[in-house]
Structure 1
Amino acid sequence: MNDDLLYIELRNALMRKIYDGVYAAGEPIPSERSLSELYGLSRVTVRKALHLLAQQGVIHKQIGVGNTVSLERTSYLGTLDQIALVAPAQRTFFSLFLDHFQKIAGASDALVFFIQQSERERIEDTLFRLLLHGIHNCVIWLDYKILDPIYIERLRVLGMNLVFFDIPVSTPYADNVILDNRDAIHSLCRYLEKNGKPPIAYVGRENTSPTSFFERECAFSSEMPHSVILHIPWFHSGYLAEHMNRFIWDTLYPRHRPGSLLCSDGEIGVALKKALLHHGINDILVASIDDLPEAKELPLTVYSQPYHLFARQVFDCLATQNSSADWQAKTYRIKGELIVR
């Protein structure tokens, strides 16, 4: 194996050690001599690998200590030539965003590619694998997944610029671009109060912690403190369509008889509206967040998510992370539009 491949392999091995937490931020890594003996490589090869890590800002030399892992990484100053969008599944919601993002990125000559997250691999490991292949810009939609905060920090230290889309992740190492969930719930509650019949019930996902659903449910509790909140198991739309009949007869009736329903997302809104119409139930007004293609046909009043504004803000976040040495993480809450049908 030639020297070029050896020093790249060593660079990757040391990055793996940092990613796994063997070498923590602010702590020293083994000396050049120790690494040479540990990996059976020449000092020249080791020196080249360390030089590359230093160039990338992953390590820096500290007098009296040696090479230490960067304690703080604000952003990776690079280019936007390649952007990875990582998500567990290419569902309708994400596809709508992806269409807009590709247009905006393409106008700046950035290559965008979609990575569907495997059920057999942690999303953290997928991101690290992309980093080893030179991908430093990632947009992430977690959906129902959870990403360990410590790995967000390690990925940032290793030189990855991160933007979470639709996910209110609290971290100083990534930007967040999400819907203004409080405005969405407020707008829909006022619409249902004016046009529907009481009582108003909220229908959301059973597992609310990883996504904006938690914010939406909290906002509804604040707006309508005496209203009931109902949950549907966390499954995809196929499950919702198949089991919505059971939800109607076992949950809505006879225990609850709401006059109006506010749905946490478009998949639930469309599936529930279809099921109610199928059973001839026309006296319940349904509204939801998300303007999916079927919503207009039903018809269903929605709070539409501004995908074009999301896409622009996500791209601008990456551009700032690539160009500003004093970047600091921010959360951008973007208002949508109430569409009455």
Structure 2
Amino acid sequence: MPTSERADPEKCHRYMQLTEKIYQSLFKDILKGRFLPGQRFLTENEAMQRFGASRTTIRRAFAKLVDNHAILRKQKVGSIVNTKLAASEGKISKIAAILPIEDHFVRSFLSTLCNEAAKRDVITVLEPGSSGQQQNEAVIRLALHGIRDMVVWGIDRTLDLELFFRLRILGVNMVFFDRINPGKIADYVCLDNAGAMRALFEKAKERGIRRVYFVDPTGLDIDSNHERLQCCRKECAAHGIDFSTELPEIFPEHSAIFAVNDPTALMFAECGVPVFSIDGLPESRAKGIISYRQPMDELAKGCFKSLGDQRRLGENWKARQYRFLAQDPFA
């Protein structure tokens, strides 16, 4: 009687490991821009030669790339890198929060985001990163592990926005929070800086402020800081208040400091003039700083709305901005 040949479990496991290794290598190539959207991808023969693998293994790796929206396979054409926005549909089950945990404001937001996720039965994965380059590597790592919903607190301009755009094409839903406005490549959730500044100037008018000094000692090239500077300048012009970014040796009467955020405001808490700021940290309030509270609950809900809208709209998605004001911002 013929005997059936039983599969060798160890051999099968090695084949699966090799397939996954080849898939991840090719997926990284696409994310890092070595193959751009619309370009011809490797042929099976080229991949076999590169990895020294069998055609069966290469086909399995290619099939996984197709399943993850990385490439399209066309008869008589071969494989090309996907250009059409893929859709990650259905219910959100897991999100990644890509942000540094050293910042007090970010920790407060992370806590609120995790609470909102728990209400929705969503798992939160924390991926800390203290530079844009570290965040670039983090999103690749998360995408390779199947994470399809991400909240990003962009550190600086070393973020590779082209990488994030390629992730969007591959069906990764993402929303940028607070610092860096990603433009057309992703949604943006933040404080309504113009509205917050108007509320601060109402407080300044009550105190008879006639000259404002805007301070941002960090000099960081980030959109939230640029917005606050421009909004402060605009409100000064609207109210006939003198504006300057140069601090005097002695503050004149009826002058005030407008700080870009609470950590900056705390540096000037003992300067002898009113200090206005944005964040609403308890330690700032304790020092008498007039600080507009960040609407953490609304911002966290806004992130989930953005991610949900991206799943719902799929290939019809277009980048949106979600801006929020706080209720009782000085309470």
Under TM normalisation by the shorter chain, which class is it?
Answer: 0.7 to 0.9
Q: Quick one: which of 192, 200, 213 aligns to 2:212?
A: 200
Letter in 1 for 2:54: S
Q: TM-score, normalised by structure 1?
A: 0.84
- Residues 8, 191 of structure 1: CA spacing in aligned structure 2 closer, same or farther, 3 A cutoff? same
State the distance in 2 between where 1:144 and 1:36 align: 39
State the distance in 1 between where 2:254 and 2:224 align: 24
> In the comparison of the two structures, how many residue pairs are matched?
314
* Aligned twin of 2:287: 298
8 Å Cα contact 2:262-2:278 kept in structure 1:
yes
Deviating more after overlay: 57-66 vs 24-33: 57-66
* Aligned twin of 2:264: 268
Q: Quick one: which of 106, 125, 128 aligns to 1:113?
A: 125
Deviation at 1:77, TM superposition (A): 3.0
1:302-341 alignment runs, 5 A limit: 302-325=291-314, 326-337=316-327, 339-340=329-330
State the distance in 2 between where 1:62 and 1:255 align: 71
8 Å Cα contact 2:175-2:189 kept in structure 1:
yes
Letter in 2 for 1:269: A
Q: Quick one: which of 231, 240, 245 aligns to 1:229?
A: 245
State the distance in 1 between where 2:180 and 2:326 align: 17
Deviation at 1:29, TM superposition (A): 0.6
Give per-residue Cα distances to partners, 1:219-263, cap 9 Å, x unaligned. Answer: 112222441024xxxxxxxxxxxxxxxxxxxx4414877711111
Q: Say what the alpha-carbon RMSD is for the aligned residues.
A: 2.3
Deviation at 1:119, TM superposition (A): 5.0
* Aligned twin of 1:245: none
Deviation at 1:207, TM superposition (A): 2.1
8 Å Cα contact 2:176-2:182 kept in structure 1:
no
Rg: which structure is higher? 2
- Residues 37, 168 of structure 1: CA spacing in aligned structure 2 closer, same or farther, 3 A cutoff? closer
8 Å Cα contact 1:168-1:212 kept in structure 2:
yes
- Residues 119, 72 of structure 1: CA spacing in aligned structure 2 closer, same or farther, 3 A cutoff? same
Q: Quick one: which of 71, 76, 79 aligns to 1:67?
A: 79
8 Å Cα contact 2:65-2:71 kept in structure 1:
yes
8 Å Cα contact 2:294-2:329 kept in structure 1:
no
Are 1:126 and 2:116 matched, yes or no?
Answer: no
* SS of equivalent residue, structure 1 residue 5: helix
8 Å Cα contact 1:286-1:300 kept in structure 2:
yes
Give per-residue Cα distances to partners, 1:249-306, cap 9 Å, x unaligned. Answer: xx44148777111111111123321x33xxxx3xx12111111011332222221111
State the distance in 2 between where 1:173 and 1:76 align: 16
Q: TM-score, normalised by structure 2?
A: 0.87
Deviation at 1:78, TM superposition (A): 5.6
- Residues 52, 340 of structure 1: CA spacing in aligned structure 2 closer, same or farther, 3 A cutoff? closer
State the distance in 2 between where 1:332 and 1:210 align: 18
* Aligned twin of 2:15: 3
Are 1:159 and 2:171 matched, yes or no?
Answer: yes
* Aligned twin of 1:55: 67
State the distance in 2 between where 1:125 and 1:257 align: 51
Unaligned runs of 5+ in 1: 231-250
8 Å Cα contact 1:74-1:327 kept in structure 2:
no
State the distance in 2 between where 1:90 and 1:125 align: 19
* Aligned twin of 1:12: 24
Q: Quick one: which of 255, 258, 262 aligns to 1:259?
A: 255
Letter in 2 for 1:34: E
Q: Quick one: which of 55, 79, 85 aligns to 2:97?
A: 85
Deviation at 1:118, TM superposition (A): 4.5
Letter in 1 for 2:305: D
Unaligned runs of 5+ in 2: 1-12
Deviating more after overlay: 45-54 vs 114-123: 114-123
Deviation at 1:206, TM superposition (A): 3.7
Give per-residue Cα distances to partners, 1:27-74, cap 9 Å, x unaligned. Answer: 111111221222111111111111111111111123432111111325
* Aligned twin of 1:248: none
Structure with the bigger RCO (C-alpha within 8 Å, sep 6+) is 1
Letter in 2 for 1:330: R
